[in-house]
């Protein structure tokens, strides 16, 4: 009989395999990153909270007439969970989360790597 630890390891392995079954640019690329990087529910909520915070700052900057989004990108990268790489995360959220499409587009345009 398998131990709980062995069963948990097998479930985690199967989750990673399921994540790989979906195309890189499939319908849920951010969730794929979440599974691959082993983020917890709280860590994912933190990413979405960060997006909400930066989106609010972006709207404030737009009202003030500021055109550069570099400070927003810097804030996002600095506060993003260390398990996630910024550019793939931005692209994944842009593809998956309609609520943040404009924000992620602005962050991509500010990125020197894009």
Q: Residue-wise pLDDT tens for the chain (114 aa)? A: 778 999 898 888 888 777 766 666 678 889 888 888 989 999 999 999 999 999 999 999 999 998 889 999 999 999 999 999 999 999 999 999 999 999 999 999 999 876
105 touches 63 (CB < 8 A):
no
Run of H or E residues at 61? helix 41-64
Residue 21 pLDDT? 65
Q: Which long-range contacts (CB under 8 A, 24 or more apart) does 58-63 make?
A: 58/103, 58/106
Burial of 112 (0-12, 13-18, 19+ CB in 10 A): exposed
Predicted confidence at residue 4, as pLDDT, reads 92
Measured distance CA(22)–CA(90) in Å, rounded: 18
Distance between CA atoms of residues 64 and 114, nearest Å: 26
């Amino acid at each position: 009989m398998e131990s709980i630890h062995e069963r948990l390891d097998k479930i985690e392995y199967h989750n990673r395999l399921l994540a790989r079954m979906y195309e890189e640019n499939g319908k849920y690329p951010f969730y794929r990153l979440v599974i691959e990087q082993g983020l917890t529910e709280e860590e994912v909520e933190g990413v979405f909270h960060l997006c909400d915070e930066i989106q609010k700052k972006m709207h404030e900057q737009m009202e003030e007439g500021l055109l550069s989004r570099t400070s927003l990108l810097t804030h996002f990268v600095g506060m993003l969970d260390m398990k996630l790489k910024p550019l793939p995360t931005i692209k994944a959220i842009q593809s998956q989360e309609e609520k943040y499409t404009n924000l992620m587009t602005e962050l991509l345009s500010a990125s020197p790597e894009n």
